[in-house]
Amino acid sequence: MSEDTNDFDDILNRAGTDLPDEAALYPNGTFRLRCAAVAEGSFQTKEGRTIKTVSFGYAVGEPGEDVDQDEWSEVAQDVTGQRIWKRYSLSNSAEIAAFKRDIAAHGIDPNAEGTVLGEQARACKGHEVTGTLVRNFYKTKDGTERRENKITRLQAVA
């Protein structure tokens, strides 16, 4: 979106055809991320089973040295303020291990005595990590093509 389309009232007074159908994407690479939200939710599988989830919502900050600066300058204004979510289903040992590892990246001990994992996850809110963002392209069940950013790795801020 160009600079003149970022005004809230201006956007509401435009036809949908004058505005983008897809969100701009962050370039691939590492970014500083601040955990802005921790949310519990669920989704339905094709078989009708409900899978409960916990998600971390991140505000994206400064890009790392591995981010293409030309690409960053092209999209920086359009992606500012977008949240990137990382979701865990905790449905198997790999998911649980990744969840615990990512809590630890926030500087929170997931194995601290006298605490439970949900409490440790909620304590991540407000903490910063370094995250690797990649562009993910996929098709939905109905064949619609989608694009999104995905967090592939979290690390403690050095």
pLDDT at 6: 60
pLDDT, mean over the chain: 91
Query: What is residue 150's predicted lDDT score, i.e. its pLDDT?
Result: 95
CA-wise closest residue to 40 among 83, 81, 84, 85:
85
The C-alpha atoms of residue 88 and residue 95 are separated, in whole angstroms, by 6
Confidence band of 2 (pLDDT split at 50, 70, 90): very low
Q: List the domain boundaries for the chain.
A: 25-156
- Over 70: is that where the pLDDT of 28 sits? yes
pLDDT tens string 50-97: 999 999 999 999 999 999 999 999 999 888 888 999 999 999 999 999
Q: How many helices (H) and strands (E) does the chain have?
A: 4, 5
Rg (CA), the chain: 18
